[in-house]
Amino acid sequence: MHTTTRSFAAALAASLIATLACSSAGAQTSPAPAPAMSVAPATPAQSPSGITAETLAGAQQNPNDWLTYGRDLGAQRFSPLTQIDTKNVKRLTVAWNKTLGPPISMEGTPIVANGVMYLTTGTSAVFAVDAKTGATKWSYKYPLPRTSYPRACCNINNRGVTLTGDEVVIGTLDAHLVALDANTGKVRWNVTVADNAKAYSITSPPLPVKDLVITGVGGGEYPTRGFIAAYNAATGKLVWKRYTIPGPGEPGYDTWKIPNTAQRGGGPTWLPGTYDTARDVVYWGTGNPNPDFDSEGTQGDLFYTSGLLALDPSSGNIKWFYQFTPHNIWDYDGVNEPMLVDVPVGGNTVAAIAHADRNGYLYLLNRDTGKLIYAVPFLDKVTWAKVDRTTGKIALDPAIQAAAKARKPYLVSPSIIGGKNWEPTAYDPAKHILFIPALESSMGIIPDKKSNPNPKVGAFNFGGGFDRPTFAGSFSAWDLTTGKMLWKQRFRSPAFGGALATAGGVVFVGQMEGELDAFDEMTGKKLWSAKTPSGITAPPMTYSVDGRQYVSVEVGIGGVFPNFFIASTPWLKSVKPASMVYTYALPVR
C-alpha cells in the first residue's frame, strides 16, 4: 500500500461520504504562560436537581451509575461492582440489544444515571433508553450538514455525551456544543465552538467541571490552531479559550524556530481531559503540530503540541506543561486520557497521572509538578527514539532523523496511528494495575519533496504520505508501583476499543473482529467471549439497576481501518458495519 498525501485526502473524503451513504519528551516545563482569552465571567451552577458538581466528584463512590466518559472525573474506568466476577463471568448472556440507525463507526461510551442510558451515534444523534430493557425514552437527531463529513479526520464519529445539571451535552462533528433537556431531549442551547469550514470538529464529549463544560477540538491534519474552551453549562456562554499554539510574543512561541510556522496550526485537543477536584486542576492532552510529517518545515520543540497541559479551570491559565514528543513528525498525538491515580512509589503514595502515549511509552507524572516519575515502553517494538526511564531524556533514532531531514522514505514504529490511539485504558485502584489496549504497528513515512509554506485552509496538510503499514494488537497489564508489565495478550487485529476494569477481578476489552472478551485481571487468562454482529471499536462499561449488574458496549466497526488499511488487515474486510449497543448480564434465577 502506498498512499500519498493528496490521494489519502481524496480517498478519505470519498470514503467518509460513502460510508454514511451506506448507512465515522523529555520533561519540559513551560515558561509562565500568558492568560487564556477571557470572554465572560462564570456564573454559579444552576442545577437544583439532577447531576451536580458534588454528584460528579463522588462518581467513584456511586457503584450503580456510570456518570462521565471515564466513569469518574479522573478517567479510571473502574467499577466497584462485584456481582460479575472471575467465577461466574462465563455465564454472561445478552440482556438486550438495540439498533441505533444506519451502520456507522461506533466509539461512544454509554452514560447511565438513575436507570437511564444516554448514547450517541457517529452522526451526533442522541438516544435516551431504559437501561434495563433498551426501550427508547426519547431521541434527538442533530441536523449534521453533509459538508462536515470529509472535514473529519479520520472518521464520522462521536464518543458520547456529558451529563450536567438536568442537561445532556454533546459535541458535534461540525464543531458545535448542544445541550438537551435530559428528560425530553429538547434543545436548551446550541453554540458554534469553531468554524467547520476550516476543518474543526468535535468527536468527544466535553468535560464537566463545576458550572462549566470544557471541550477540545479536532483538526490536527489541517492548518488549524488547536484550543481548549470552557462554556457555562447552563447558558452555553463562552467563559475562556486557551490556544495550544502560542501567538507572537506569548511564552512558547520561540519553540517554533521558523518564523510564522506557529500560525500554520496543530495541537488538536480532541479527547476529553480529566479533573482533580481536590486540587482544582484540569489536565488536557495536546496533539501533533501541522504538517504531520515535515521535519524541516517545522523546527523546534513546538510548544504546546504533543504533550500534557495542567490548567486552572476558572481561567484556562497554564500551570505546567510536559511534552511527550518534541518536534513530533510522526503524528504521535498526546491527547490520550491523562488518568488520575494515587500510586505507592518508593515508599510514598504519589498523586500521579498515568498516560499511555501514541509514541509507545507509558508515562507516570507527578500531577502537582508535571515531573516525570518514570517512562517505559508498552509495545513490543518502538524505533522512533529511546526515552530514559527516569529522566525522560530522548535519544532519537539517527537513521530515521537523517532520512526525514533528507526527505527520503523511512520505516518507523509505532505507525502514525500510534501505540495507543484514542481507545482508553482502565485501572484497578486497589491493586494499582493499569490495562492498556494497544496497536503493535509500523509504517513507512514518505516525506514530501519540499515544504508547503501556504497550506490551504480546510484542506489536508500532512507534509507527506505513508506506505507498508503493518498492524496487530495487544492488551497488557502494568503494575504502576514499579512500571513493570504483569502480562500481555496479543491479537492479530489492533485493540481499538478501550478497556473496563471491575472489582470482580474481571477486565473487559472489545475486538475489531467482532467479539467482547473478558480476562482475569491478575493472570490475563481469557474467561469469556461473546460474538457480536460487527466489530467493536468502543469501550465497554458497566452499571447496575435494581440489583442486577450489566455490561454494555457499542458495536459498529468503522474509521481508518476498514477504509484505508484493509491491505494490512484483510480479514477485517468481512466484518460488517453496524450501529448497535449490546448489553450483557448474568441469567436471572
Residue-wise pLDDT for 486-545, tens only, equals 999 999 999 999 999 999 999 999 999 999 999 999 999 999 999 999 999 999 999 999
Cβ atoms of residues 394 and 369 within 8 Å = no
- Of 227-231, 245-249, 311-315, minimum mean pLDDT range: 245-249
Q: How far does CA 432 lie from the centroid of its chain?
A: 22
Mean pLDDT for the stretch of residues 453-468? 91
Question: Cα–Cα distance between 459 and 408 in angstroms, integer?
Answer: 24
Please choose, from the candidates 123, 311, 147, the residue with its C-alpha nearest in 3D space to the C-alpha of residue 215: 311
pLDDT in tens, 284-295: 999 999 999 999
Residue span of the structural domain in which 226 resides: 2-585
B/e letters for 159-181, b = 16+ CB within 10 Å, e = fewer, are bbbbbbbbbbbbbbbbbbbbbbe
Whether omega before 118 lies within 30 degrees of 0, making that bond cis, reads: no
Amino acid 36: pLDDT: 56
Q: Is 331 a catalytic residue?
A: yes
Instruction: Note the pLDDT of residue 565.
Output: 83
Q: Please report the pLDDT score of residue 538 as a whole number.
A: 96
Lowest mean pLDDT among 85-89, 259-263, 311-315: 259-263
pLDDT at 523: 98
Q: Tell me the whole-structure pTM to 2 decimals.
A: 0.94
Domain count, the chain: 1
**Least confident span in 58-62, 95-99, 108-112:** 58-62
Spell out the long-range contacts of 9-15 with Cβ–Cβ below 8 A and sequence spacing 24 or more: 9/459, 9/460, 9/462, 11/563, 11/564, 12/150, 12/153, 12/154, 12/460, 12/563, 12/564, 13/149, 13/150, 14/150, 15/563, 15/564
Is the predicted pLDDT of residue 17 greater than 50, yes or no?
no
CATH number at residue 300: 2.140.10.10
**Banded model confidence at residue 49, pLDDT cuts 50, 70, 90:** low
Q: Which of 166, 331, 333, 448 is catalytic?
A: 331
pLDDT at 85: 98
Task: Report the amino acid identity of residue 462.
Answer: F
Average pLDDT, integer, range 50-71: 94
Grid coordinates belonging to 538: 468502543
Residue with cell 499511555: 356
pLDDT confidence band for 19 (50 / 70 / 90)? very low
Contact 65, 545 (CB under 8 A): no
C-alpha cell at 316: 484556562
Half-sphere exposure of 233 (CA within 13 A, CB side): 27
Place of cell 490551504: 456
CA 358, 360, 366, 372 torsion-angle sign? negative
Secondary structure element (H or E) that encloses residue 6, with its range: helix 5-22
Answer whether the bond into residue 291 is a cis peptide, omega within 30°.
Answer: yes
